[in-house]
Every structure is written in C-alpha cells, then in structure tokens.
Amino acid sequence: MGADGIIHEVLDAVFQVRSPASDAPPELSVLLWQRARDPQRGTWSLPGGILRADEDLTTSARRLLAEKVDVREVAHLEQLSVFSAPHRLPGPRVIASTYLGLVRSDSTANLPPDTRWHPVGALPEMSFDHREVVTLARTRLAAKLSYTNIAFALAPPDFAMSTLSDIYCAALGYPVDSTNLLRILSRRGVVSATGTVGRTGRSGGRPPALYRFAENGLRVTDEFATLRPPA
C-alpha cells in the first residue's frame, strides 16, 4: 500500500489459441482462476497481485504469472491500460495496471486446479472489472494483427498457412483466407518458407508447405494497414 493508502495491483490478460476438440475450429482463450474467497467468491479472475516496492510493472506481471498460475512461456507481454475507477474493488482504493500476454499455440503449462483456459466468446461470470480488461486486451490484439507481426507470439515456430489463418480467424473473430494472408505477410517480409513440409491431413492430399516468422519480436510492418472482415 502506498503512503496515500492506495494499493497498486497488476493484472495479466493472457491469450492462447486453443483447439477444444480435434474436429472443432481453434478458439482464442484467456487464462482465468476461480476465486475461493469473498469478495465475489466463485467468480473468475485474471492472474494478478500486488506490485512489490522493489519491482517494476513488467517484472511484476511476469512474476505473478509464474507464481500464481505457473505460466512461464509468455512469447509477448505488453502494458495495456490502467483501471482506476475509485470503487472498482470493495475496501481500500486499488489501481490496476493491466497487461496483454500471448502464449504460443503449441505451449503447454501445468495449471493449478483452480485455473483454466476459457474461450473469450463464452466467458464465465467474472470478478469486478476483469471482463472489461479482457475485452480491451482482445481489441488491442485484433488491432495489432493488422499492422504488426504480433501473431508470432500465438503461432508455433513452424506452421502451415492454414494453421496461421486459423489463428488469425480465432483472434479476429471472422474468416481469414490463407492465400491472401500469405500474400500480405510475404510482401511485408513477415513470414518465409522453411523449405520443408508438414504432415498430410486426414483428408489426404499434398503435404502442406511450412513457414515461420522472420522475427520473434514485435515489429510494425505497415502502420496504415487494416485487416477488415469480409463483406
């Protein structure tokens, strides 16, 4: 607690594109844990906790993910916004610095029993203003998919373009044509062919060519670009 009596917490909205079943399309999911105590016991919260006096915000965000939900393989983490409504939580005033985190689709973690991934399109009852944080985080992600290479943090190291288009579709909420996506990303120098092929799908056909991102760090690729849903 600060000298003025205000508490500063850090919250992490961490997304991963996950397949709920082998025959179901991938979904953008967010990591939540269920509160076992009041206030709002039984609701679902974003991982988070109190900012320590000896750490900066980003260090705190990574520490809390590791300590609270045992997630250490975060491919991208960026500050999102500050939530500072005077009565957003009961009791002493609590200001929240929020973060957007992304985990690759092939990454696995041993989650605690009270923690699980939830599709962002079917969120459970959430604690306090955490649903607003998730909504803002998804909006930020969708926007950055248009003009940066941020999808590197959601995709596996090597992928077929159909896999990458499924990831874009899950994050954006509308279909993305893999041929057009390859054309756009290749023109921007975002992805390149590995020279190898992947496994043939259950329907047979030719093995798909595999691609990878040119960089594993965030880069603006076209500041004026916008990916729009099909008409």
| Domain extents in the chain | 7-145, 148-213
Q: Could you tell me which residue, 57 or 230, shows the higher pLDDT? A: 57
Question: Averaged over 78-105, what is the pLDDT?
Answer: 96
Asked if the model's pLDDT at residue 228 lies above 80, the reply is no
Q: Are 57 and 10 in contact (CB under 8 A)?
A: yes
Distance of CA 56 to the CA centre of its chain: 21
* Domain 7-145 matches domain 148-213 at the CATH topology level: no
Q: Whole-angstrom Cα distance, residue 36 to residue 128?
A: 15
Fold for domain 148-213? Arc Repressor Mutant, subunit A (1.10.10)
User: Which string of DSSP letters, residue by residue, matches 116-185?
Assistant: EEEEGGG---B-TTHHHHHHHHHHHHHHHHHHB-GGGGTS-SSEEHHHHHHHHHHHHSS---HHHHHHHH
Instruction: Output the average pLDDT for the chain.
Output: 92
pLDDT of residue 55: 97
Q: What architecture is domain 7-145?
A: Alpha-Beta Complex (3.90)
> Residue 2: pLDDT band by 50, 70, 90 thresholds?
low
Q: What digits encode the pLDDT tens for the residues 197-223?
A: 988 765 666 899 999 999 999 999 987
